[in-house]
Structure formats: structure tokens, C-alpha cells
Structure 1
Amino acid sequence: MAKISPLMIAPPLIFGAFAVLAGIGMFRDDPNALPSAREGQPAPPVVLTEFPGKTIFDDATLRDGEVKLVNYWASWCAPCRAEHPNLEALSEEGIPVYGINYKDQLANAEGFLTELGDPYEAIGRDEQGRMALDWGLYGVPETYVIDGEGTIILRFAGPITQRVIENTIRPALEKAGQ
């Protein structure tokens, strides 16, 4: 009888383990969702640099009793440009949107808002990205639904589309008490 070497068994076992993990990943609810340890917790401190000519916001703003969106964006971000009309529409509906300009050149950020419009009730700059680290930012654009007590209800990584608004943002706004 031939002896089976451990080297002969290893490749099928490794392949089998990979197939099981891939199968589990394929049947998750939302394969694009990024987990957030911040959901259900108070929003981290707001430490922003002023955006000249614009109203800035702070920690007290996030805890003012009003449900709001906080949106990280940058002028160099193509998906930010794509989502911008949807943020404007939400703002026009009366949903407060607060902007955080992320690691951007001021002149470029100003040009972005001049060209596309300014949906932000208040805005600040995170020039070095330090605040973004505290918030667990994955990349821009990224939007958070914050309840009136300053608790993060939802973190959405990626551009806000009409589908995202209807299936993800609006349910989170309702949960937050909007």
C-alpha cells in the first residue's frame, strides 16, 4: 500500500478552506458593506480647520437634537463629484448635511463648491486627515447619519446614489428619528 505524503494532502485542504471562505463571503447580506465599530457610539470629537467664508461646526453641533448627515469629501475624488447632486437634493429636502473637506487644497475645494454648488449647512477642513482616523474613515466619499444626541447610526462608505438614499440612508434617518 502506498504511503500518502502530507505534501499531497495540503493543496486540496487549502483549496477546500478557500472555497468555504469564498462561499461564506458570497452570501453575506451586503458584500460591499464595510463594518464600522463606530455605529451605535458617540461621534468622535470634531477638530476642524475653518473653511474661509463658510460656517464651521463642532461637537455641540452634532449633539444639538437634530438628525444630520456628515459627509467626508475632496475635490480630487471622482465619486465625490458623482454623489454631489444627491447631497444637494437631500439638503434641499431639509436634511442638514455637514461637510468635512478631507486632505485637499483649499483653492481646489473652493472651486469644487463653486462649480457644483454647496449643499453643506456647515463645513470644515481636515487638512491632515487626523480627525478622519478617529472616525474610522476608509476613504472618500464617506457619509455618516448622526442622531440628535451625536450617536453614529450609520456609516456609509462610497458615493451616495439614489438607490443608496432609498435603501440605506432613509431607513437610517428614520431610525435616528428624522
Structure 2
Amino acid sequence: MSASAFAPAKVNLYLHVGPPGADGYHPLDSLMVFADIGDEVSISTGPGPALRLSGPFASGLEAGDNLVLLAARQLAQKLGRAEPPPALVLDKRLPVAAGLGGGSADAAATLRLLSRAWASPMSGKDLEILAADLGSDVPACIRSRPVTATGRGEVLAPAPDLPGLPAVLVNPGVACPTGAVYRAFDA
């Protein structure tokens, strides 16, 4: 079986972050769009569950504790699959901790890829609900088309019609993990 799924970079055209609630999560309001660059997740030959990393930004990741494998395991459990997920390859073309939703996009691509490969009866909305446990912007990445996101990021609505937007994404080479950025908002 050879199949793959594209994991496009997520770009927040605006992002409003509120103070954390009693659950520790920050409410947000964002307009998210998706670029034509991104990572690629594919099914590999060989026993699973395993993850092989490739690409220019693979060195910034650990294969054992990756959202790709977490997503694969979560979907397998939800579908009641006894056998482990197949071996996967993540071609990491997006910088890690760059604010582009790379890990979230990778998890979403994994859910879409394995849902197709396993002929899952789950709808896109079902995948979004499952994805919310993996991260606040993973549901938007399931859609990978312009959306407004509120709540913790799981309340999605189609964005208004937008024209194409040429953009240049620059990687300054400085990691900005989401948790640290949100803690800075709190300060």
C-alpha cells in the first residue's frame, strides 16, 4: 500500500488570544488560511507502528514522541483496529516551532491518510472531533482550507471568500513553541 497526504502550512491572518480559562486553555479567535507549501505524510512498507523522518527539518523532531504516531494510534483505537498502524514517513519541509502549525498539519494529514487507507466510515466532522484531542488547531488542519476558529480552536466556520494572497514565509531560525508564546501573552 503506497499513499500520502499533504500537510499544508497554516498561516494565521489574525490571532486574538484571551487569558486562560479555568481549564488552562486560552480562548482564541483566528482567521486561518493554508499555504501551498508543507510537509508530506506517507505510508511506508514495513511493520508499524514506526515513523521514519526525512526532509530538511527532520533533525528537529523525535520519531518516538511525534503527533503523527499519536494521531495514528488514536485513529486506530477509535476504529477498534487490533493491528498496529502501518509504518509512516514524515517528510518534514516546514520548520519546527515556527508558528505554521506543522505538527498539527502533520497529525491532521495522518488522520486523513489513514482514514482513507482503512476505508473508515468517519466523516470529516468526526475526524475534526477526534483531532481536537491532539491540539487546538488540528481540527482546522483537517479541513486545510480557510476557516475562522474560536473556542480553543475547535469551533470552526468557513471563512469569507478571500482572494489569493501571495506571501513570503521567512524562517528566522528561532523556535517559538506555542506553549511558550502563550505563556508570554499571559505575562
Q: TM-score, normalised by structure 1?
A: 0.29
Q: Tell me which protein shows more strand as a share of its residues.
A: 2
Structure with the greater alpha carbon radius of gyration: 1
Q: Tell me which protein shows more helix as a share of its residues.
A: 1
